């Protein structure tokens, strides 16, 4: 005998349960966790290098890549605890992988954990890693049309980092349109213009991170 059963449960219920546990651990330890999402080559690792050096904030990093440990190498060179996850074809990180990486991180001595997701504007935003904020990283050479093409990311982002702005004079990037499209998708999101290799925009970005950390620890 057949019957129809109503379920109404998230497709990713199991992974979301793991993300909730990660979120609970970070809350308990007073750690801010952010998830950097952007195309390959958007400048995520360079922004991260500029963010973690020359600061009194204590960081750990989780690197997600299809292959190699190149990004983790760059962070390790700055003496920051880092775990590299290689997905070997997976186009995004998931909470179960991040949970395993957490086992290798000194959680009692940290202010901020940064997850640098696999380079991809699509899939990473669909998977909750337990983070406090997703950060959209978009570089000038990618063009100004990305927000409307990838609305889910830009809508969900807690901040938008526009990188490589030193290239604006050389690339047909409509800055006004970009800012307008971002505002339509996410009316109050901070948009930070950066030249990470020169440290430009990093102070503003660190200010945002500090305010989120303070807000979190007040709770």
**Residues in the site for other proteins, rule: CB under 8 A?**
1-15, 69, 72-73, 75-76, 79-92, 94, 96-97, 100-101, 103-104, 106, 122-123, 125-127, 148, 151-152, 155, 183-188
Q: Is 89 left (phi over 0), alpha (psi -120 to 50) or beta?
A: left
State which residue, 29 or 149, has the beta carbon closest to other proteins. Answer: 149
State which residue, 10 or 20, has the beta carbon closest to other proteins. Answer: 10
State which residue, 151 or 166, has the beta carbon closest to other proteins. Answer: 151
Q: Quote the CA–CA distance of 85 and 62 in Å, as a whole number.
A: 7
Q: Which residues of 175-188 are buried (b: 16+ CB within 10 A; e: fewer)?
A: eeebbebbeebbee
Q: Residue 25 CB, nearest distance to other proteins (Å)?
A: 18
What is the Cα gyration radius of the chain?
A: 18
Q: Residue 138 CB, nearest distance to other proteins (Å)?
A: 17
Q: Specify the pairing of strand 133-139 against strand 191-193.
A: unpaired
Contact criterion met (CB below 8 Å) for 21 and 103: no
Q: Residue 213 CB, nearest distance to other proteins (Å)?
A: 22
Contact criterion met (CB below 8 Å) for 65 and 118: yes
Q: Residue 183 CB, nearest distance to other proteins (Å)?
A: 7
State which residue, 148 or 213, has the beta carbon closest to other proteins. Answer: 148
């Amino acid at each position: 005998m057949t019957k129809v059963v109503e379920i109404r449960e998230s497709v990713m219920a199991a992974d979301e349960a793991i993300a909730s546990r990660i979120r609970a651990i970070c809350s308990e330890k007073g750690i801010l966790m952010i998830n950097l999402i952007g195309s390959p080559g958007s400048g995520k690792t360079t922004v991260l290098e500029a963010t973690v050096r020359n600061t009194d904030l204590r960081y750990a990093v989780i690197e997600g890549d299809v292959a190699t440990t190149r990004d983790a190498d760059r962070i390790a060179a700055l003496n920051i605890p880092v775990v590299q996850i290689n997905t070997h074809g997976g186009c995004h990180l998931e909470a179960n992988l991040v949970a395993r990486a957490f086992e290798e991180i000194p959680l009692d001595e940290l202010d901020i954990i940064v997850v640098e997701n696999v380079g991809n504007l699509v899939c990473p935003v669909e998977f909750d890693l337990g983070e406090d904020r997703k950060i959209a990283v978009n570089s000038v050479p990618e063009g100004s049309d990305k927000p409307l093409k990838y609305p889910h990311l830009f809508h969900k982002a807690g901040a938008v980092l526009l990188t490589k702005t030193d290239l604006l004079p050389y690339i047909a990037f409509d800055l006004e349109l970009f800012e307008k499209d971002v505002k339509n998708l996410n009316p109050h999101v901070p948009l930070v213009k950066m030249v990470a290799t020169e440290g430009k925009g990093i102070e503003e970005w660190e200010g945002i991170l500090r305010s989120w950390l303070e807000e979190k620890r007040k709770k």
